[in-house]
């Protein structure tokens, strides 16, 4: 946005500051990946190097092929996490789409109240709900099952999903739907044939957000699951690796496996997240 | 309206009598049907537990009450009395407030500076730095905390190595020690909160930076040109032009950061290695530890959770008012 060229020293200083910021932001991630491909003797060496002299995948092999408890390895925990996150995404996407359609397409009496409620419930500290939800899950007989997690993550991701999706639904021109209706399509056909394909990109972005919420969550997974082979990946990471402070290579390999999908997804939806979270604070 | 029967009370409570004119049609049931699943989920999984945690905070709830079907003994404000009378609670509250305040201030300052910087950089450099900053944000709180714990490991951690590399004289003069191997960063509250602050600020400044940048891009460039032509320096330009124009953005960011930093859990859990280290407790982890470490005291834990929630509700009320005001304008 600056049209005028700045004097050279100022530009150099700005670029240098930029590099420092970039290094600070990236370094832990870099160090995680770098450690994960170093042989143990380099990890515990007295003079650490930034990059491995002899890169190795042994830690990934250990993490993926090794058994953390008899017969169960890290892939099982990744699969548990993927199952929980996948189910959360599907349910949350479907329910959010219905609600977003209502808010974006209809004027009704409680519309504003509903939107305010969406904002407010997003601010409920989930940490404060662990105890009542723990009791509820026990009463429902869902304690120590993966569906218990799907259920609570659905609750956590839904308000933001609706908030985010309503913009996408509103962006689909109403004329299209009206034209289809005039051509004799019923409401369901309009929804399925017209609205859904056009909202699909927004649905993907929203789904990714729900996925990240479910995939990263630790406290509830820690509290609701007691059988080890039902642990999600974050719980397995804190339990099996957190215990043993010497296996940093394996810890970093497992952390990398947990982080990478989130990072890839995050880059895809990053711009939507900002607009969703600051909700109209930024114009333009 | 018959379609409203499934709707929770709270929704109706906030209702404003806005009549939408809809000629030639009776009020539509469809929006309410579409909202029903969403309202059911929010009602059952968020609002009901929120009410329940308040109810639980008035009862004595232990492992026996949880197992058996017998009535929960009502203790009124007993749990609150127990907490508020405990000097330890004051320590926890002080930790929480000081930590949140320090983290909000540091996150806002760093985030704003980075946002301003990104706005100044050339297109390519801004994309590169922005991309790097985004990676810190994208890292899950859990794995981010684990890496920082590894960086501060007392034998082979990079930070420990770097401190050992300091010239002995300098290290002794500054810190009173030369050998950092075995130095327990996570053992004393002061260094623990220092590292935790680093971890949390690292994770949260990117959001502030990106939001500030988005705001800056919406400010017309002519304003700055005029100010600069009048001889205003960067400091003056920021306080006289940027800040007033972006006040709503800063407001929302401060509130969101406050909410997030008040309830930090995952990073603390990882750095402290669980819930044993009471000296570094803050409200969220205190509530969890009281409720779930043996012997479980769900009632007392709930009371702490309620106190945390009330603090955050006040902040939220400010936030909602701000957002609504912006949506209107």
For the stretch B215-247, pLDDT in tens is: 998 888 888 888 888 888 888 989 988 898 898
| % of chain B surpassing 70 pLDDT | 90
Kindly state whether residues A214 and A254 are assigned to the same domain. Answer: yes
d(CA B113, CA B119): 10
Closest chain A C-alpha to B169 CA, distance in angstroms: 21
Residue B144 lies in a domain: yes
Kindly report the number of other CB atoms within 10 A of residue A198's CB atom.
17
Q: What is the mean pLDDT of chain B?
A: 87
pLDDT at A277: 54
Is residue B287 scored above 70 in pLDDT? yes
* Number of domains, chain A: 2
Range(s) of the domain holding residue B114: 86-293
pLDDT at A256: 96
Q: Do A14 and B326 touch (CB under 8 A)?
A: no
- Mean local confidence (pLDDT), B31-54: 96
Residue B79 lies in a domain: no
Residue A63 lies in a domain: no
Any idea what the CATH number is for the domain that residue A254 is in?
1.10.3720.10
Q: Do A121 and B150 touch (CB under 8 A)?
A: no
Kindly state whether residues A195 and A270 are assigned to the same domain. Answer: yes
With cut-offs at 50, 70 and 90, classify the pLDDT of residue B25: low
pLDDT at A91: 97
Concatenating the DSSP letter of every residue in B81-125 gives HHHHT-HHHHHHHHHHHHHHHHHHHHHHHHHHHHHHHHHHS-HHH
Kindly state whether residues A94 and A209 are assigned to the same domain. Answer: yes
Task: Note whether A254 and A241 are within 8 A (CB).
Answer: yes
Residue B71 lies in a domain: no
Which chain B residue has the Cα nearest residue A31? B147
Kindly state whether residues A144 and A274 are assigned to the same domain. Answer: yes
Q: Do A15 and B125 touch (CB under 8 A)?
A: yes
Give ∠ CA A145-A151-A155 in degrees, rounded to 5: 155
Kindly state whether residues A20 and A134 are assigned to the same domain. Answer: no
Kindly state whether residues A155 and A88 are assigned to the same domain. Answer: yes
Residue A225 lies in a domain: yes
Which residues of A fall within a CB distance of 8 Å from B270? Answer: 238, 242
Residue A263 lies in a domain: yes
d(CA A74, CA A238): 12
Residue B208 lies in a domain: yes
Kindly state whether residues A105 and A191 are assigned to the same domain. Answer: yes
Query: Which pair of structure tokens corresponds to residue B155?
Result: 């034998």
Residue B76 lies in a domain: no
Kindly state whether residues A208 and A234 are assigned to the same domain. Answer: yes
Is residue B306 scored above 50 in pLDDT? yes
d(CA B303, CA B80): 6
pLDDT at A13: 92
**Residue B179, class by beta-carbon neighbours within 10 Å (0-12 exposed, 13-18 middle, 19+ buried)?**
exposed
Residue B262 lies in a domain: yes
Range(s) of the domain holding residue A41: 10-56
What's CA B286's distance to the chain center, in Å? 16
pLDDT at A284: 31
- Chain A and chain B share a number of CB contacts under 8 A equal to 330
Listed as ranges, residues in chain A with pLDDT below 70 are 1-7, 241-246, 270-284
Kindly state whether residues A52 and A15 are assigned to the same domain. Answer: yes
Which chain A residue has the Cα nearest residue B26? A108
Residue A210 lies in a domain: yes
Kindly state whether residues A32 and A96 are assigned to the same domain. Answer: no
Which residues of A fall within a CB distance of 8 Å from B69? Answer: none
Query: Which pair of structure tokens corresponds to residue A277?
Result: 């979270």
Selected residues 40-99 of chain A with any CB under 8 Å from a CB in chain B: 43-48, 95-96, 98-99
Total count of residues recorded for chain A: 284
d(CA A266, CA A169): 22
Kindly state whether residues A23 and A127 are assigned to the same domain. Answer: no
Coil, strand or helix: which one is A52? coil
Kindly state whether residues A14 and A96 are assigned to the same domain. Answer: no
Is residue B17 scored above 50 in pLDDT? no
The shortest CB-CB distance from A237 to any of B117, B142, B251 is to B142
User: What's phi and psi for A227, nearest 5 deg?
Assistant: -85, 130
Q: Do A274 and B210 touch (CB under 8 A)?
A: yes
d(CA B4, CA B12): 9
Residue A246 lies in a domain: yes
The shortest CB-CB distance from A29 to any of B139, B253, B262 is to B139
Which helix or strand (DSSP H or E) is residue A78 part of? helix A74-105
d(CA B67, CA B81): 26
Q: Do B114 and A21 touch (CB under 8 A)?
A: yes
How many angstroms separate the Cα of A176 from the Cα of each of A204, A265, B100?
21, 31, 49
Any idea what the CATH number is for the domain that residue B183 is in?
1.10.3720.10
d(CA B115, CA B205): 10
d(CA B307, CA B314): 11
Residue B280 lies in a domain: yes
Residue A275 lies in a domain: yes
Which residues of A fall within a CB distance of 8 Å from B31? Answer: 102-103, 105-106, 108, 111
* Number of domains, chain B: 1
Decide if A245 touches B, using CB distance below 8 A.
yes
More confident residue, B38 or A180: B38
């Amino acid at each position: 946005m600056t049209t005028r060229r700045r004097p050279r020293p100022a530009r150099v200083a700005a670029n240098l500051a930029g590099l420092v910021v970039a290094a600070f932001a990236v370094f832990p991630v870099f160090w995680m990946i770098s450690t994960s491909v170093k042989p143990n003797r380099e990890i515990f060496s007295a003079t650490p190097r930034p990059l491995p002299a002899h890169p190795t995948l042994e830690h990934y092999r250990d993490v993926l092929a090794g058994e953390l408890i008899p017969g169960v390895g890290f892939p099982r925990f990744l699969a548990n996490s993927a199952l929980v996150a996948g189910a959360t995404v599907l349910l949350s996407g479907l329910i959010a789409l219905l609600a977003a359609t209502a808010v974006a397409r209809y004027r009704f009496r409680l519309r504003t109240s509903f939107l305010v409620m969406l904002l407010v419930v997003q601010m409920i500290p989930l940490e404060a709900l662990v105890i009542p939800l723990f009791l509820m899950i026990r009463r429902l007989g869902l304690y120590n099952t993966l569906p218990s997690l799907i259920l609570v993550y659905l609750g956590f991701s839904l308000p933001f999903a609706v908030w985010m999706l309503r913009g996408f639904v509103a962006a689909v021109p109403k004329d299209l739907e009206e034209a289809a209706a005039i051509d004799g399509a019923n409401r369901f056909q309009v929804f399925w044939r017209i609205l859904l394909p056009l909202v699909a990109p927004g649905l993907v972005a929203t789904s990714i957000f729900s996925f990240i919420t479910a995939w990263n969550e630790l406290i509830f997974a820690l509290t609701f699951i007691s059988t080890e082979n039902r642990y999600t990946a974050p719980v397995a990471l804190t339990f099996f690796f957190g215990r043993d402070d010497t296996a940093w290579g394996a810890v970093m390999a497992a952390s990398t496996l947990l982080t990478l999908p989130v990072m890839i997804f995050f880059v895809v939806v990053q711009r939507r997240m900002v607009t969703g979270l600051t909700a109209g604070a930024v114009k333009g | 309206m018959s379609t409203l029967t499934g709707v929770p009370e709270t929704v109706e409570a906030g209702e404003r009598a806005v009549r939408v004119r809809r000629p030639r049609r009776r009020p539509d049931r469809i929006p309410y049907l579409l909202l029903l699943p969403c309202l059911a989920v929010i009602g059952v999984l968020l609002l009901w537990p929120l009410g329940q945690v308040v109810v639980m905070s008035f009862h004595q709830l232990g492992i026996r009450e949880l197992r058996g079907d017998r009535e929960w003994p009502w203790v009124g404000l007993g749990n609150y009395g127990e907490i508020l009378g405990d000097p330890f609670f004051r320590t926890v509250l002080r930790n929480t407030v000081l930590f949140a305040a320090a983290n909000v201030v540091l996150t806002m300052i760093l985030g704003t500076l980075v946002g301003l910087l990104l706005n100044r950089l050339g297109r390519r450099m801004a994309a590169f730095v922005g991309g790097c900053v985004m990676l810190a944000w994208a890292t899950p709180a859990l794995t981010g905390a684990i890496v920082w714990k590894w960086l501060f490991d007392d034998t082979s951690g990079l930070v420990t190595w770097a401190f050992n590399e300091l010239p002995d004289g300098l290290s002794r003069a500054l810190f009173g020690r030369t050998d950092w191997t075995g130095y327990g960063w996570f053992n004393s509250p002061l260094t623990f909160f220092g590292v935790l602050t680093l971890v949390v600020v690292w994770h949260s400044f990117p959001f502030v930076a990106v939001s500030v940048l988005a705001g800056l891009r919406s400010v017309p460039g002519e304003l700055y040109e005029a100010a600069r032509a009048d001889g205003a320096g960067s400091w003056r330009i920021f306080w006289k032009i940027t800040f007033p124009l972006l006040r709503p953005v800063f407001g929302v960011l401060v509130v969101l950061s406050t909410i997030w930093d008040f309830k930090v859990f995952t990073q603390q859990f990882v750095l402290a290695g669980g819930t044993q280290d009471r000296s570094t407790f803050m409200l969220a982890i205190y509530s969890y530890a009281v409720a779930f470490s043996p012997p479980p005291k769900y009632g007392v834990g709930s009371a702490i959770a309620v106190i945390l929630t009330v603090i955050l509700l006040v902040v939220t009320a400010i936030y909602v008012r701000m957002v609504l005001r912006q949506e209107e304008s």
